[in-house]
Structure 1
Amino acid sequence: MSADVTRLFAEIDAVLLDFDGPVCSIFAGHPARDVAAELVGMLRSHGVDLPSHLATESDPLEVLRWTGSTGVLETTRMVEDALCEAEERAVQTAAPTPYGREVIVAARQAGLPVAVVSNNSAGAVTAYLAAHRLMGHVAPVIGRAYADPSRMKPNPEPILHAVRALGASASRSVLVGDSLSDIDGARSAGVRVIGYANRPAKVDAFRRAGSDVVITSMKPIADVLTRRCEQVEEQDSLGR
């Protein structure tokens, strides 16, 4: 696994990270299923006719996707606003992903720009990064388009937005993500992709989806980038 990551990063000039997964578990202290239930309850209270499957939906982003598919902008905005508020509460108790911080810091020290590309709101991502003293290492933060869930990953638009903002080429950028939407979006954007399988069931699914590399921990990336930092420092010292 480390050898695969090493080979991939030898061809990479920019790092894109999904947020919920590679950086932190946003809903660790405020469960996603509770947020989804709150959104469904709000829709019901406004008289929205809901499909039966939405009653047991545990992913608030899927509730937003469904709402957006109705084409009723006022309702979509209502759900978007409520989800943004819930996410900004959730990041206060989010659990940092082991080695996620090390990946961000080591990438920047190795001279690789880092962007976050998330289906969560930019406000929530920024609040987390600020609270964990990571804002100086990450730019830009690309969150989901307001009240337009069709533009969330796997739509490649936010990924390509990040690549352009970093002044990088898609083929020499890598996205680290923990969902099929990350992998599919990266493939559509022409970006390399590392599937972070934070659950065993994801490993085979990510391989079938076309991940360049599949990892079960962020540690291999942190290790590769740390070695790259050491090589940069050694080259600098030799050049003095």
Structure 2
Amino acid sequence: MKLQQLLGEAPLKAILFDLDGTLVDSVPDLAAAMDASLIHCGYPGAGEERVRTWVGNGAAKLVERALDWAESTSQRSGPPVPHGVLLDAFYLAYAEDSSSRSQLFPGVIAALEYWQQAGIKLACVTNKPERFTHPILAEFGLQSLLPVVVGGDTLAQRKPDPAPLLHACERLGVAAGNTVMVGDSSNDIDAAHAAGMPAACVSYGYNHGAPIAEAGADLLVDDFGSLR
């Protein structure tokens, strides 16, 4: 098993997974909500391709990037819309539909079932707020496979801080030295290394538009299933 090799002689007992860009291609729904909120505030929609380069640091950062872009390109008159106003509009739009356009990446279910059957404990550690994370996990049948969820608002800290990863380990009853983080961004890598665990990354994710190959992952794969 590739993930076991990252730990050397220490047995693999748990795997932590990022959500957006790792398990689920959620950008289509994020982009739809972002465009709806931009238009609601008098700006043009940004489009899915552009939003895809903004994802990876949570909703507040996504909205910050969208607002910076909108203000720099829009012909809208008047003062800039406050960040909090656009963020609230985004949350309302995303709450209405966070999964109808999204898709699981290939190989996710089979790999998660494989690890679960092997007795390895699994958890989701994401910067997405819990109120959005749980419905998406339920929509794609991942709740039973990922019984522990640490969202972006579970603690005061979020990735790249190691606290969410260490909190997940505590809830799973495993040590960080027996755990691997699987994600798609530098946030996942930095959080894992700060927590004392290796990080495996998928190359197809978001990483806010930057090349993940340059981020220092301990393992980089092109498809989720090859992590097994």
Q: TM-score, normalised by structure 1?
A: 0.68
Structure 2 SS opposite 1:176: strand
Instruction: Note the C-alpha offset of 1:99.
Output: 0.8
In the TM superposition, what are the counterparts of 1:13-24 in structure 2 within 5 Å?
13-24=13-24
Instruction: Note the C-alpha offset of 1:38.
Output: 4.3
Q: Which of the pair has the greater relative contact order for Cα pairs under 8 Å at 6+ separation?
A: 2
Q: 1:102 aligns with which of 107, 110, 127?
A: 110
Distance in 1 (alpha carbons) for counterparts of 2:149 and 2:212:
24
Shift of the 140–63 alpha-carbon distance from structure 1 to 2, 3 Å rule, reads closer
1:158 is matched by which residue type in structure 2? P
Distance in 2 (alpha carbons) for counterparts of 1:131 and 1:199:
20
Instruction: Give the structure with higher Rg (CA).
Output: 1
Shift of the 86–200 alpha-carbon distance from structure 1 to 2, 3 Å rule, reads closer
Query: Aligned residue for 1:163?
Result: 169
Instruction: Note the C-alpha offset of 1:151.
Output: 2.9
Instruction: Note the C-alpha offset of 1:123.
Output: 2.4
Is the CA contact 1:17–1:115 (under 8 Å) kept in the aligned structure 2? yes
Q: 1:86 aligns with which of 81, 94, 103?
A: 94
Query: Aligned residue for 2:5?
Result: 7
Distance in 1 (alpha carbons) for counterparts of 2:206 and 2:61:
26
Distance in 2 (alpha carbons) for counterparts of 1:107 and 1:211:
21
Shift of the 62–13 alpha-carbon distance from structure 1 to 2, 3 Å rule, reads closer
- Structure 1: 5+ residue stretches without partners: 46-55, 69-73, 225-240
Structure 1 SS opposite 2:113: helix
Is the CA contact 1:84–1:121 (under 8 Å) kept in the aligned structure 2? no
Structure 1 SS opposite 2:199: strand
Query: Aligned residue for 2:72?
Result: none
Q: 2:60 aligns with which of 61, 64, 80?
A: 64
Is the CA contact 1:88–1:124 (under 8 Å) kept in the aligned structure 2? no
Bigger proportion of residues as helix: 1
Shift of the 43–81 alpha-carbon distance from structure 1 to 2, 3 Å rule, reads closer
Shift of the 123–62 alpha-carbon distance from structure 1 to 2, 3 Å rule, reads closer
- Residues 62-96 of structure 1 show CA distances to partners (whole Å, capped at 9, x for unaligned) of 6613879xxxxx96497267437516612233111
Is the CA contact 1:19–1:118 (under 8 Å) kept in the aligned structure 2? yes
Shift of the 135–183 alpha-carbon distance from structure 1 to 2, 3 Å rule, reads same
1:97 is matched by which residue type in structure 2? F
Q: TM-score, normalised by structure 2?
A: 0.71
1:89 is matched by which residue type in structure 2? D
Distance in 2 (alpha carbons) for counterparts of 1:188 and 1:122:
23
Instruction: Note the C-alpha offset of 1:42.
Output: 6.0
The total of aligned residue pairs comes to 200
Query: Aligned residue for 1:50?
Result: none
Query: Aligned residue for 2:77?
Result: none
Instruction: Note the C-alpha offset of 1:113.
Output: 0.9
- Structure 2: 5+ residue stretches without partners: 44-48, 65-81
Distance in 1 (alpha carbons) for counterparts of 2:206 and 2:37:
29
Query: Aligned residue for 1:233?
Result: none
Q: CA RMSD, aligned part only?
A: 3.6
Query: Aligned residue for 2:27?
Result: 27
Distance in 1 (alpha carbons) for counterparts of 2:212 and 2:88:
29
Percent of matched pairs sharing the same residue: 22
Instruction: Note the C-alpha offset of 1:188.
Output: 1.4
Shift of the 200–133 alpha-carbon distance from structure 1 to 2, 3 Å rule, reads closer
1:64 is matched by which residue type in structure 2? A
